[in-house]
């Protein structure tokens, strides 16, 4: 007797000789094949659309790739370096300052999980590829003066030593070069002035006025009002520069 298992070997099953499948059966099989071929692209499209939508859990999982088991809720300097590698920018690139501003990060070289999720929720990013696609947008934020002004003010508290009320001059020079160096023609002279001056720190009022000075005062200083409300630091810079140019 033939084994009953042969009845379930569909690949080997043959139609009896001389028999024909009905047109209805053939049409049904054709429709099933057509339906399957239509479902695959739709399923793939649905999966792609799902991946494009921001997912908070996916964002946290991504964050944990840069943290350690001892401190899973804080991304530190080592994790920051790897993150920068993954998005293809140097840690000193100004776009990292813009990103920190978007996160409202409190400490340089560190992101907390709440800062990370807040910033990337706003940017709708939950992986490195999405951040790469947003880099031009982040850079463009610097072109809007009000946004730039916010980033500039934020940079003071973000980069200064948290134990100090004011920013040390060396840090100030580095940040001014990053933020104003390309657009402020007097920055090289201002840096030289700081090097030769008595100033060891820059307070926040001075910091904010440096931006205003860089945006409003002509390179030849012709519109600088010595009796204006400028801090003494800038009065002394103007005097120093005029003397330098007269020699």
CATH number for the domain spanning 230: value is: 1.10.238.200
Residues 167 and 225 in one domain: yes
| CA distance linking residue 103 with residue 223, whole number of Å | 38
Q: Minimal CA–CA distance to 170: which of 207, 205, 195, 203?
A: 195
* Domain contains 21: no
pLDDT band at 124 (very low <50, low <70, confident <90, very high): very high
Instruction: Give 162's pLDDT tier (boundaries 50, 70, 90).
Output: confident
Q: What's 112's domain CATH number?
A: 1.10.238.10
pLDDT level of residue 33 (50, 70, 90 thresholds): low
Query: With 60 as the cut, is the pLDDT of residue 11 above it?
Result: no
Same domain, 138 and 66: yes
Task: Give, in order, the Cα–Cα distances in Å from 49 to each of 39, 44, 52, 120, 189.
Answer: 15, 9, 5, 18, 53
Which of 105, 59, 170, 114 has its CA nearest to residue 96? 105
CA distance 92 to 170: 15
Q: Which whole number is the average pLDDT over 83-99?
A: 97
Range of the domain at 221: 163-246
| Structure-token pair, residue 18 | 């001389």
Structure tokens at 223: 């519109």
Domain-embedded: residue 1: no
Nearest to 55 by CA among 103, 160, 119, 125: 125
Whether the per-residue pLDDT at 43 is higher than 60: the answer is: no
- Give the SS3 label for residue 103: helix
* Mean pLDDT estimate for the chain: 86
**Any domain includes 150:** no
Per-residue model confidence (pLDDT) at position 202: 98
Largest CA distance in the chain: 117
Number of domains in the chain: 2
Which residues in 17-49 are b (16+ Cβ under 10 Å) and which e?
eeeeeeeeeeeeeeeeeeeeeeeeeeeeeeeee
How many C-beta neighbours within 10 Å does residue 113 have?
A: 16
* End residue of a domain, out of 80, 112, 143: 143
Residue 148 lies in a domain: no
Domain stop point among 143, 174, 192: 143
């Amino acid at each position: 007797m033939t084994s009953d298992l042969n009845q379930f070997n569909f690949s080997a099953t043959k139609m009896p000789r001389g028999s024909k499948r009905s047109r209805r059966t053939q049409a049904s099989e054709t429709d099933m094949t057509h339906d399957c071929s239509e479902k695959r692209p739709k399923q793939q499209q649905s999966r792609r659309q799902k991946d494009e939508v921001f997912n908070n859990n996916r964002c946290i999982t991504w964050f944990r790739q840069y943290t350690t088991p001892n401190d899973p809720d804080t991304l530190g300097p080592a994790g920051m370096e790897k993150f920068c590698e993954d998005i293809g920018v140097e840690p000193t690139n100004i776009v990292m300052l813009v990103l920190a501003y978007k996160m409202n990060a409190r400490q340089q070289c560190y992101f907390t999980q709440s800062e990370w999720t807040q910033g990337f929720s706003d940017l709708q990013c939950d992986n490195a590829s999405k951040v790469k696609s947003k880099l031009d947008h982040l850079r463009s934020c610097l072109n809007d003066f009000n946004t730039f002004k916010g980033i500039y003010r934020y940079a003071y508290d973000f980069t200064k030593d948290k134990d100090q009320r004011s920013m040390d001059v060396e840090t100030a020079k580095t940040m001014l070069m990053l933020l104003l160096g390309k657009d402020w023609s007097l920055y090289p002279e201002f840096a030289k002035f700081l090097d030769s001056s008595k100033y060891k720190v820059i307070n926040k009022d001075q910091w904010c006025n440096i931006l205003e000075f860089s945006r409003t005062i002509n390179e030849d200083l012709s519109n600088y009002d010595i009796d204006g409300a400028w801090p003494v630091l800038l009065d002394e810079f103007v005097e120093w520069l005029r003397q330098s140019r007269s020699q």
